[in-house]
Chain A
Amino acid sequence: MIRIENVSKSFYKRDTAVDAVQNMNLTIERREIVAVIGPSGCGKSTLLNMIAGLYAPTRGRVVYKDAPVSGINTDVGYMTQKDSLLPWRSVRDNVAFPLELAGVAKAERSDRADQVIQHVGLRGFEERYPNELSGGMRKRACLGRMMLYGAETALLDEPFAALDAQLKLAMHDLMLRLASENDQTVVLVTHDLMEAVTLADRVLVCTRRPATIALEQRIDLERPRDVLNVRFSSAFKEHYDTLWERLRVEYSEDRV
Chain B
Amino acid sequence: MQPDINADRATAVNVDAPLSSIPQAAPLKSGGRVPMALWQAALGIAVLLVWQGASGRLVDNFFISNPLDVGARLYRWTMDGTIFQHIGATLYATGMGFVIGSVGGAVLGIWLGVSPFASRLLNPYLNALNALPKVALAPLFVLWFGLGIESKIALAAVLVLFLVFLNTFAGVREVDQDLIDGARLMRATRAQVIIKVIIPSAMSWVFAGLKIAMPYALIGAVLGEMIAANRGLGYLVQFSGSQFDTAGVFAVLFVIALLAVGLNHLVDMVQSRTERWRIVSR
- Chain A residues near B (Cβ < 8 Å): 52, 54, 72-74, 76-78, 80, 82, 84, 86-90, 97-98, 100-102, 129, 131-132, 149
Contact = CB atoms under 8 A, between A and B. Distances in A.
Interface of B: 176, 178-179, 181-189, 192, 196-197, 200-201, 203, 275-278, 280-281
B183 A80 contact: no
Contacts of B278: 87-88
Given A74-B186, A87-B277, 19 more contacts: A72-B181, A73-B185, A78-B185, A80-B178, A82-B178, A84-B176, A84-B178, A84-B179, A84-B181, A86-B179, A86-B197, A88-B201, A88-B277, A97-B183, A97-B196, A100-B196, A101-B196, A129-B281, A131-B277
19 contacts: A52-B181, A54-B181, A72-B184, A72-B185, A74-B185, A74-B186, A78-B182, A78-B185, A82-B178, A84-B176, A84-B178, A84-B182, A88-B201, A90-B277, A98-B187, A100-B196, A129-B276, A131-B281, A149-B186
Contacts of B196: 86, 97, 100-101
Contacts of A100: 196
B186 A98 contact: yes
Instruction: Tell me what chain A mostly uses at the interface: helix, strand, loop, or mixed.
Output: loop
Contact of B187 (A74, A86, A132): A74
Contacts of A102: 187
Nearest to B274: A88
B200 to A, nearest CB: 5
A101 B186 contact: yes
A83 to B, nearest CB: 9
Contact of B280 (A77, A84, A98, A132): A132
Contacts of A54: 181, 185
A88 B179 contact: no
Contacts of B200: 86, 88
Nearest to B275: A88
B188 A101 contact: yes
Contacts of A88: 200-201, 203, 275, 277-278
A185 to B, nearest CB: 15
A92 to B, nearest CB: 13
A157 B197 CA distance: 22
Question: 4 tightest CB-CB pairs across the interface, nearest first?
Answer: A84-B182, A131-B281, A129-B277, A98-B186
A98 B176 CA distance: 18
Most buried by B among A80, A84, A131: A84
Nearest to A74: B187
Contacts of B281: 129, 131-132
Nearest to B204: A88
B192 A101 contact: yes
A78 to B, nearest CB: 5
Contacts of B185: 52, 54, 72-74, 76-78
A73 B186 CA distance: 9
A204 B205 CA distance: 44
Contact of B183 (A87, A101, A131): A101
A97 B197 CA distance: 11
Contacts of B203: 88
A52 B187 CA distance: 12
Contacts of B188: 101
A181 to B, nearest CB: 20
A131 B277 CA distance: 8
Contacts of B277: 87-90, 129, 131
B201 to A, nearest CB: 7
Most buried by B among A72, A82, A88, A90: A88
A98 B184 CA distance: 10
B266 to A, nearest CB: 22
B173 to A, nearest CB: 18
Contacts of B276: 129
A73 B184 CA distance: 9
Contacts of B280: 129, 131-132
A87 to B, nearest CB: 6
